[in-house]
Amino acid sequence: MKVEILEFVEGARKARGITVIIDVFRAFSVGCYAYDSGAERIIATGDVEAAFNLRKIYSNALLVGERDEKMIPGFDLGNSPTEIMQADLHGKTVIHTTTAGTQGLINASLADVVITGSLVNSGAVVRFIQAMKPDHVSLVAMGYRATQSAEEDLLCAHFIKDGLLGENSASDEMITALMETSGKRFFNQDNIRFSPPSDFFLCTMKDRFNFILRAETREDGNIALIKTEVF
């Protein structure tokens, strides 16, 4: 099995085989918490206007997402697992758009299978891929705003790669260290309204969930994220 680590939208476009689009802070952590909080479906889109159009189709929809980390005007929730856990998502359609993670899903057009990745379900991602027995795996770390390398996404990629190859270069101590690097922004008083400290801890609860989110392209070009339990 060949496992490669790529970055950003360019990496998503190059991805082949089974592809994991990784966004720990916060898109694909939010996706897991949304399903755990009772969401009926998640539709990811790269475009804000498309999100508003989708809400016209689904009467029980919630618009969730961010640009520049902040909730988009007219949306119901930001890209925050804390907000997700406080909301009533039972039976709701979550329409999700973000600066980095959802852009990766839209652009991974050459991959055979696309799933999302985050620390909260990295173990399930490993087990899912192992069961598929692929020749090639692409791990795409989307980074901060899809333009800067992000320690948390690269760390998640290494956890997944280590699990697949039986190596052990990534450690749980590295998760704690994120508080002093890419996770530092969650503890900045200026960001608390849209990036509270609780988001950091919710996004770094490694292996909290035993399911993966598989991306399937819809007829309208948007992405359905399908929850699949993995034991």
What is the domain-level CATH number for residue 129? 3.90.1560.10
> Considering only CA atoms, which of 229, 212, 218 is closest in space to residue 43?
218
17 φ/ψ sector (left φ>0, alpha ψ -120 to 50, else beta): left
**Residue 15 in contact with residue 134, Cβ under 8 Å?**
no
Q: Give the whole-angstrom CA distance, residue 87 versus residue 56.
A: 21
Give the lowest-confidence range in 32-46, 123-137, 164-178, 181-195.
164-178
Q: Give the whole-angstrom CA distance, residue 141 versus residue 42.
A: 21
Residue whose entry in the numeric block shows the structure tokens 């755990």: 36
Per-residue pLDDT tens digits for 80-106 = 999 999 999 999 999 999 999 999 999
Give residue 32's pLDDT band: very low, low, confident or very high (50, 70, 90).
Answer: very high
> What pTM value is reported for the model?
0.97
For 123, the domain range is 2-229
Pairing of strands 18-22, 113-117: parallel
**Residue 138 in contact with residue 18, Cβ under 8 Å?**
yes
Q: How many CA atoms lie within 13 A of 128 on its CB side?
A: 25
| b/e 100-125 (16+ beta carbons within 10 angstroms → b) | bbbbbbbbbeebebbbbbbbbbbbbb
Q: Look at residue 108 in the predicted model and tell me its pLDDT.
A: 97
| b/e 129-165 (16+ beta carbons within 10 angstroms → b) | beeeebeebbbbbbbbebeeebbbbbbbbbbbbbbbe
Question: Looking at the predicted structure, is the pLDDT value of residue 205 above 80?
Answer: yes
Per-residue pLDDT tens digits for 101-142 = 999 999 999 999 999 999 999 999 999 999 999 999 999 999
Q: State the chain's mean pLDDT as an integer.
A: 97
Q: Look at residue 154 in the predicted model and tell me its pLDDT.
A: 98
| Amino acid type, 69 | E
> Considering only CA atoms, which of 191, 156, 185 is closest in space to residue 171?
156
Give 117's contacts (C-beta < 8 A, 6+ positions apart).
20, 21, 22, 23, 28, 125, 139, 156, 157, 160
State how many domains the chain has: 1
